[in-house]
Chain A
Amino acid sequence: MAVGKEIRNKIDNVENTQKITRAMQMVAASKMRRTQERMRQGRPYAEKIRQMIGHLANSSPEYRHTYMVSRDVKRVGYIVVSSDRGLCGGLNVNLFRMLVREMVDWQSKKVEVDLGLIGNKAGAFFRSVGGNVVAALHDVGEKPTVADLVGGIKVMLDAYEEGRIDKLFIVSNQFVNTMTQRPVSRQLLPLDAEDDSSMKHRWDYIYEPDARQLIEGLVMRFIESQVYQAVIENGACEQAAKMVAMKAATDNAETLIEELKLIYNNARQAAITQEIAEIVGGAAAV
């Protein structure tokens, strides 16, 4: 029957799209478990080293590394952790929105902003929006190693050391649960002192072998682990957000198909009724 051919076609299209979104949902669900596992395993180290650095910043060491000294802020750096791929709902958009708000804040204080980008989406976004991008890492993949990330981090650390930027932040998504991911911005440099009143008195570590070497090594390790953990966590967020987004898309396709089927059946019924009426009318005329 020729009736409703267009509608039939439309239904087929939506069904095909639904197949794709359903497959993506399932892929994301299985990847999510793996990425979350990886994130959980890395957390204790990242937390411990953050505590250790917090203690260090609270101490009054004989040697103060440039990373520990606050300077007048004329220019700040941001390491932006985004996903490589899209179709993950508002994950990246929310992150960028927060970042842009902070950038506007800085600009109103006459502070310039440098960006170090990790992930394809951040690259694409700031290419169209503009912004002073000093480093960009693409195609980080799902299983990044610290070595993959070091290049991008190094640019920002060098900039800090040479005094081109006076503060370094990292913005990434924090994994709350499967439904919720929260964009957060944290200060990496200068090192933030942990707020602990028991630490306020003057004290210092015994350093072996010597403070300078040790602090440098520890701080490098700290930055690396924080960035690495942020990338891993962002990966877990991406898969969770993708799963939720694809589930919503699959559900939407389902309702769309139902609506279209209703219209199609209505049209078909109308056509049949009309045909019968025509036949009856024709028979009566004879």
Chain B
Amino acid sequence: MATIHCDIVSAEHEIFSGAVTMISLVGSIGELGILPGHAPLLTGIRPGPVHLTLENGEDEVFFASGGFLEVQPGIITILADTAARAEDLDEAAAVEAREAAERALADQAAGTDFSLAAAQLAEALAQSRTLEELRKRRRR
């Protein structure tokens, strides 16, 4: 099967580097599935899970909280603001963050920064989405 090299780096460290057969993630205007031979593409990415299908058919899931995706003929680069292996995500923390963000949104009268709260909520939701998908995959 055709493969393409993929690098995922965040500001803190390198997260993944290797050959993959497919990547799917949430781009700034919708979900994207990228196969080898894709046209050069530059896009922003939204908070959400990043799925990699490896050469041996295994799946890896990462969480990216935003950043940029670049597709070149031979290489795909994901610059994530922060990224983590999905296994490392803490479910309790994600739920807590979501609740805190929801509270902040409901509590607008108190003068919280609306856009900030909304961004936090989006990120927390994306984290729990990543975790859910991971769980589904495990059950299979």
A: residues with CB less than 8 A from B are 41-42, 44-45, 48-49, 51-52, 55-56, 59, 203-209, 214, 217-218, 221, 225
Contacts and interface: CB of A to CB of B under 8 A. Distances in A.
Nearest to B70: A52
A205 B42 contact: yes
**Chain A interface SS verdict (over half):** helix
Contacts of B10: 45
A205 B40 contact: yes
A218 B77 CA distance: 13
A130 to B, nearest CB: 37
A208 B39 contact: no
Given A41-B13, A45-B9, A218-B68, A205 B28 contact: no
A217 B44 contact: yes
B131 to A, nearest CB: 25
Interface string B42-80: 111000000000000000000000001010100001010
A208 B77 contact: no
A261 to B, nearest CB: 51
Interface string B19-48: 000000001110000000001111110000
Contacts of B72: 55
B9 A208 contact: no
A206 B44 CA distance: 12
16 contacts: A41-B12, A42-B12, A44-B9, A45-B11, A48-B7, A48-B77, A48-B79, A52-B70, A55-B72, A206-B41, A206-B43, A207-B41, A208-B28, A208-B41, A214-B42, A214-B43
B14 interface: yes
Contacts of A52: 68, 70, 77, 79
Interface residues of B, number: 21
Contact of A209 (B13, B28, B70): B28
Contacts of B9: 44-45, 48
Contacts of B27: 208
Nearest to B38: A206
A49 B80 CA distance: 11
Contact of A42 (B11, B42, B68): B11
Interface in B68-114: 68, 70, 72, 77, 79
A56 B10 CA distance: 20
Given A41-B12, A55-B72, A225-B11, A206 B79 contact: no
Given A48-B9, A51-B77, A218-B42, A208 B68 contact: no
A237 B67 CA distance: 29
A45 B28 contact: no
A8 B13 CA distance: 54
B14 A44 contact: yes
B43 to A, nearest CB: 4
A143 to B, nearest CB: 13
A184 B42 CA distance: 30
A52 B77 CA distance: 8
Nearest to B32: A208
Contacts of B41: 205-208
Contacts of A208: 27-29, 41-44
A55 B79 CA distance: 14
A225 B44 CA distance: 17
Nearest to A215: B42
B129 to A, nearest CB: 21
A59 B79 contact: no
Given A206-B42, A207-B41, 6 more contacts: A44-B7, A44-B13, A56-B42, A59-B40, A206-B41, A209-B29
Nearest to A218: B68
